[in-house]
Structure 1
Amino acid sequence: MNKIVVSRKVNYFQQDVAELEQASLRVQSIYEKAARMVKQYFSPAAAEKLEATVLSQRSYFQKWIHTSKGWKFIGSEYQNEQAEARPPLADLKTDTSIGESTAVSTKRGGTFASLILQAFIWSQYEEIQLFHPFLGDESFYTGEEMDVIAAYFVPTYLTERPLYESGIQYRRRDYGVTIFQEDVPAPSVVFDSEWGTMEGKLMTGVYVSGLQFKGLGPYLKNMSGNRIYMQAAVQ
């Protein structure tokens, strides 16, 4: 993945920053809870890869989209150990800038494992919703966790049938195992920069490390799939 960094800031309202800070940590906590359960059913090698997706000591880059229905979480990546050295994420948060995207390497992993976890979490969510009258207080997720999944997670499956039958537009991700996820529309953005005219979909990255919020990293995803990183500021 090519990396382009431009000197442009994306403004966020304070309430959006506060919501993403809280939501990103709750999402990561649900990821860890689900991973501990799922890895029991994988081979040791596969379980190790899955667990790497949610290790608390890793630095994570969660991908969020702001929609007409609010913020939606679509996936996560983690920093590979072999990536080049970079400044601590704790240094990236200031009063006016939240997350300097230039400081984070694009050598990331865990996208596939993240989507597998999302499919598992969404499947659990739907089953708990269906059988809630019989489960009572014995469901895997708490009421608060169910609310977080309902508010922020995107329907994700290992088959396209539920999305197709519901008339929901979806995207197909093939990693050997095919994963189907609701296609959440991201805002389209066009602007001029030192690299020329930039056009693409506006995404918001959220940095999480050690179960702590470390800042925002907005980026544009262009038609070629490349990321154009920008800076975040509070207004």
Structure 2
Amino acid sequence: MKTTLFSREVGYGKEDVAELETASVKVQLIYDKTLFMLHSHLPASLWNASFGVPYSIISSLYKGNGDGGTVFQKWIQGPSGWKCIGCERHCLEQGEAEREADLSDQPRTYTFHNGRRQSLILQAVIWALFEKTLMLHPFLGGDTFLDCDDLETISAYFVPTYVNDVRFQELDKPCKAYTDTNVRVFQEWIAAPDLVLQWDGGLTEGRWMTGVYVNEAKFAGLGPYLKDAAGKRTYMEAYVQ
């Protein structure tokens, strides 16, 4: 079923907004604790090969701050409810030479990060921890990295994500392959509502995605957008019905 809009405004029910407000913060806290755990235990060489961003930079990607912008979580209202498929936050990492010396008279260099690659890795790690915790929970007792609240949040809002597609082939489930970020990650395909936007004399069709802004572990608003077949986004404004 397609939803047709005649303006760049999309309505959300009060219950949906309340659920996203609570769920987005819970998801963010799981991102943060998992990232901190990985940084504490991974050798520097493996961290750099996997994440490719210093912890001081990537941790701010997910925590957010008032000056640098907010985290942008990507949600889909699928057949089984709201699901978070990842998050983004754009930032610039100053070049190493500029950090180590005062080179104010020379052009500065920066590396752009959007957090997409790191988000996919975190999704895969969190899902692996979730499955292993469920399997070994009778033997681990209460001494687990993911507590009961975390397990409930992951079960309700995260999407199965792996570093290969073997599990999806076994279950005969569709998945999306992300191979353009120097890592191979496969995530279960979640059907998003079809949306047609007719405005300014034009017509755009695509999938109805819901962005959720989170800043310093606090809900900071909704940012819905239409994503067409080529991946282009048309951002819209949300209102509460």
Aligned pairs for 1:1-235 (under 5 A) are 7-39=7-39, 40-43=41-44, 45=48, 46=52, 47-48=54-55, 50-57=58-65, 59-81=70-92, 109-174=114-179, 175-194=181-200, 196-235=202-241
Aligned mates of 2:159, 2:239 — CA distance in 1: 26
Query: Could you say which structure has the greater relative contact order, defined with CA pairs below 8 angstroms and 6 or more residues apart?
Result: 1
Contact (CA 8 Å) 1:62, 1:208: kept in 2 or not? Answer: yes
Bigger Cα displacement from structure 2, 21-30 vs 195-204: 195-204
Say how many residue pairs are matched: 206
Aligned mates of 2:169, 2:156 — CA distance in 1: 22
Aligned mates of 1:152, 1:115 — CA distance in 2: 15
Aligned mates of 1:42, 1:177 — CA distance in 2: 18
Structure 2 unmatched ranges of 5 or more: 1-5, 94-111
Aligned mates of 2:58, 2:136 — CA distance in 1: 27
Aligned mates of 1:61, 1:21 — CA distance in 2: 13
Secondary structure in 2 aligned to 1:201? Answer: strand
Deviation sequence 1:203-235 (CA, Å, 0-9, x none):
000001111111001000001110001100001
Q: TM-score normalized by structure 2? A: 0.81
Structure 1 unmatched ranges of 5 or more: 1-5, 83-106
**Structure whose alpha-carbon radius of gyration is higher:** 2
Q: Which residue in the other structure is 1:95 paired with?
A: none
- How far is 1:54 from its partner? 2.2
Percent identity of equivalent pairs: 41
Q: TM-score normalized by structure 1? A: 0.83
Amino acid at match of 1:22: T
- How far is 1:51 from its partner? 2.9
